[in-house]
Structure 1
């Protein structure tokens, strides 16, 4: 098979999400509209304006299943915990082995934003107290950005590229496309991809200070994240991890692996913080170019999209995002594909958002079922003027799904769009 025609498929999934740990629990709760957004008493104690957030409900049982007692000594990085839970689930779901010699055909691209903030805080206090020698032998591993890919590989033994990428909210989707390019070009047979994000006040405090989080829902947290809603008042901070094993079709078929979906293509770009783009706002021209290029790379016609899983953070930018989709697809409003956002259920997972949403998108294709949007019954009038209200499904719906576009538009004016497709032998 030539490099130009190599097909790339998804053979494993794993997730550690605020509304479910493990693919089975996550998908069940997502279909039912079960939210993972909760009131966090610590945030009230610290005088946060927004006192709600979304973080996986990890138990000691979860940790014992994946970390030895020795590994648990001094473990104080939620991002690593989330990433390991999701990554190892995806690995096992793909029926891959734990290697005792390097597997040079297999790699890891697992992204993050900030890793080990609580471990950093612990280290600072110990150093200030003159107790440097009490930091422990894993403080570096838990706080360096590539700690997550390094930690995963200490268990998996991959010999291909092992790295960590970081591009704000688009990190997870970018990781998928980085791995897709590497496999498609023949440089690897399979790659574990994903992203994770720490949780806690030291991650979320900066956003609270920016006054971009909702503050009127502390007593009703599940109603706070309102993508595409007229009453949206800011994103709910979240955390977690998503993971996918992607590999060449040739490799998957040779192994007899199950196939969830095919990656038809995608595109990455940046708006350069020009033409209206900034650190916090997207350059609309670049967003539209990213969508268009992703469809072209995938050889998917604009009117052939079955659905869109948007970035859609429950801010004023939601209307702008829908406008960019509408202008790029150039199809009649009546034919606009359904569009949904996972953030209504799990908040904005920051660096982990793209990977968790990619897992959700692949599950929609696998089960031929779209999950509904929550808290969006009062659709923003600017969005209603662009697309029919029916395109914003309120409940889960079983429907034929051939191609779904997954988009992530991140802080710093960076964009990623990947097209997942139903696998056809």
Structure 2
């Protein structure tokens, strides 16, 4: 019989708050974390079509972590460290009492160390002095820098894995952490999703892709509007979410507080298009169905969905179609929300932040609102989406995360029962 896996700790760095308490209070209030971008020194923001993002404002890593040298740790890894520290503290997991090779680290990151990467390449081309490239350039920009730094900070010597599948990265990190514990390779894992890519080049790239919202530059808080008829693209965000996963026997042995159980996971590829999902929704529905099967559940048992819902025209409609395909008549009875409506699309961190919102919804019975759901799009109308906080006695939750490269992930959580 495979091991049951539970969530015992949470940590957040987000545009609506640093720390679980601030994040959840803001989420339930429906407070938007989308704000105007002032510019990218030396580029004025005027040259960009989109001028808004979900920014973590006034962030100083020194406030949260001792002995952090910012020039040695990229912004996304700083977010990861802060979120992981909170999650470990929240869980009560004391690494000095653990067997270090039985604690793993799984990080999901879409872009990696882009802040330093763009800065250094710009300086190299401007000044043509290759000998002046930062000596830590390579270890800082590698995608596994955050997982390595988190492991070193806490002495976690078990499996250390970075997953980069664009927007589904940290949902896959959750799933792979689940498998690692199920297979007996670890007693506990630190799962983190992190990205900080609101940079001149990455932002310009998404603008050129015409993927970002441009209609609400003067009213940033109105820009991210999943499932709404007036949506015109996603809003970039940044941040990190961390969850501590443990085998149930391990958590019970140390009398840990348990938030929820992580019960199922599925990963698929549509093998269709690098950016656009299949419009019939069949592959998305299949991914959700496989996750439920992994959890030993059926569609009739899901009470709540934390949707991928990026606020793009095609993506939201496809996800809604897939939900209707799988859940049929129950689709309108399921509570559904979109965390991205509040924080924007945090890329590699999206799955972990959605997972945290799912776990907190299971624990509290409160489902945060979907902001800017003013005029439901007939192509995506689902009765369970609400502009206000919903109070429901939910027992199960499904997290969706889909990424560029035809990549799909779904994770199932359920309320813990001994």
- CA distance in 2: counterparts of 1:247 and 1:193, whole angstroms: 11
8 Å CA contact 2:193, 2:240 repeated in 1:
yes
Q: Which moved more, 1:77-86 or 1:38-47?
A: 38-47
Residue 167 of structure 1: CA displacement? 0.5
Give TM-score scaled by structure 1 length: 0.92
2:53 aligned with 1:56, yes or no?
Answer: no
State how far apart, in whole Å, the 1-side matches of 2:63 and 2:135 are.
Answer: 20
Question: Match of 1:302?
Answer: 299
Q: Which residue of 1 aligns with 2:283?
A: 286
Q: Residue 55 of structure 1 contacts residue 199 of structure 1 at CA under 8 Å; is this kept in 2?
A: no
- Distance in 1, matches of 2:23 and 2:64, equals 18
The equivalent of 1:394 in structure 2 is 387
Matched, 1:403 2:396: yes
Question: Is the CA contact (8 Å cut-off) linking 2:265 and 2:290 kept in structure 1?
Answer: yes
The alpha-carbon distance between structure 1 residues 287 and 155, as it changes in their structure 2 partners (threshold 3 A), is same
Shift of 1:122: 3.1
Q: Secondary structure of the equivalent of 2:265? A: strand
Q: How many angstroms apart in 1 are the aligned matches of 2:46 and 2:150?
A: 33
Is the CA contact 2:308–2:402 (under 8 Å) kept in the aligned structure 1?
Answer: yes
Please state whether the residue corresponding to 2:329 is helix, strand or coil. Answer: coil
For residues 73-121 of structure 1, the C-alpha deviation after alignment (integer angstroms, 9 at most, x for no partner) is 5246211111111111111111122449970110001121222222123
CA–CA separation in structure 1 for the residues paired with 2:113 and 2:189: 24
Answer with 123-132 or 113-122: which moved more. Answer: 123-132
1:16 aligned partner: 13
Residues 415 and 63 (structure 1), Cα distance of their counterparts in 2 relative to 1, 3 Å cut: same
Look up the match of 2:189: 191
Measured in 1, the distance between the counterparts of 2:98 and 2:396 equals 38
Counterpart for residue 247 of structure 2:
248
Q: 1:101 to 1:313 in 2, by over 3 A?
A: closer
CA distance in 2 between counterparts of 1:333 and 1:145 reads 38
Structure 1 unmatched runs, 5+: none
Q: Deviations over 1:313-334 (max 9, x none)?
A: 1111212211101111233555
Give the drift of 1:205.
1.5
Query: For the residues of structure 2 that align with 1:314 and 1:83, how far apart are their CA atoms?
Result: 25
**Does the C-alpha gap of structure 1 residues 45 and 409 become closer, same or farther in structure 2, counting only changes over 3 Å?**
closer
Q: Which structure 2 residue ranges, 5 or more long, are not aligned?
A: none
Shift of 1:131: 4.5
8 Å Cα contact 1:371/1:395 also seen in 2:
yes
How far 1:351 moved relative to its partner? 1.2
The equivalent residue for 2:153 is 155
Q: Secondary structure at the match of 1:245?
A: strand
- TM-score normalised according to structure 2 size: 0.93
Tell me if the contact between 1:53 and 1:238 (Cα under 8 Å) persists in the aligned partners: yes
Alignment match, 1:383:
380
Kept in 1, the 8 Å contact 2:277–2:318? The answer is no
Matched residues in 1 for 2:179 and 2:145: separation?
23
What is the alpha-carbon distance in structure 1 between the residues aligned to residue 229 and residue 357 of structure 2? 25
Displacement, 1:246?
0.3
Q: Which one of 166, 169, 181 corresponds to residue 168 of structure 1?
A: 166
Name the residue aligned to 1:420.
413
Contact 1:52 1:236 in 2 (8 A): yes
**Residues in 2 aligned to 1:100 and 1:140: alpha-carbon distance in whole angstroms:** 33
Cα-to-partner distance string for 1:107-143 (whole Å, 9 max, x where unaligned): 0011212222221233334545355554444322211
Distance 1:134 1:96 in 2: 42
- Give me the whole-angstrom Cα distance separating, in 2, the residues matched to 1:46 and 1:72: 33
From 171, 174, 177, the counterpart of 2:175: 177
CA contact (8 A) 1:170 1:414 kept: yes
Deviation at 1:153, TM superposition (A): 1.3
Give 1:328's aligned residue: 326
- The correspondence of residues 32-111 of structure 1 with structure 2, limited to 5 A, is 32-42=29-39, 44-45=44-45, 47-60=47-60, 62-68=61-67, 71-72=68-69, 74-75=71-72, 77-99=74-96, 103-111=100-108
Assess if the C-alpha contact under 8 Å between 1:98 and 1:155 holds in 2.
Answer: no
- Check the 8 A contact 2:337/2:385 in 1, yes or no: yes
Name the counterpart of 2:231: 232
Answer whether contact 2:2 2:183 (CA < 8 A) is retained: no
Aligned-pair distance for 1:295? 1.0
Residues 100 and 150 of structure 1: CA distance in aligned 2, closer, same or farther (over 3 Å): farther
User: What's the C-alpha RMSD, in Å, of the aligned pairs?
Assistant: 1.8
Alpha-carbon deviation of 1:302? 1.1
